[in-house]
Amino acid sequence: MILGVWCLLLLLGLLCVRVLLLLWGMVLLGSRCRVFPHLRVLVWG
């Protein structure tokens, strides 16, 4: 039971980190269409 809770928290934490990285990258790059696909691959790959 506790192990399941830890796994859920870990997955939520990773998702939050990925979303924050994506938003931060978009701000840094000015969300240029030319660079965005590479950023998305970097974050989700």
- CB 18 within 8 Å of CB 4: no
Residues in Cβ contact with 29 at an 8 Å cutoff, skipping those fewer than 6 apart: 35, 36, 39
The residue with greater pLDDT, 28 or 23, is 23
Report the alpha-carbon distance of residue 45 to residue 40 in Å, rounded.
Answer: 8
3-class secondary-structure state, position 10: helix
Which helix (DSSP H) or strand (DSSP E) does residue 9 occupy?
Answer: helix 2-29
The residue with greater pLDDT, 40 or 16, is 16
What token pair was written down for 17? 């980190």
- What mean pLDDT value characterizes the chain? 78
pLDDT tens digit sequence for 7-23:
999 999 999 999 898 88
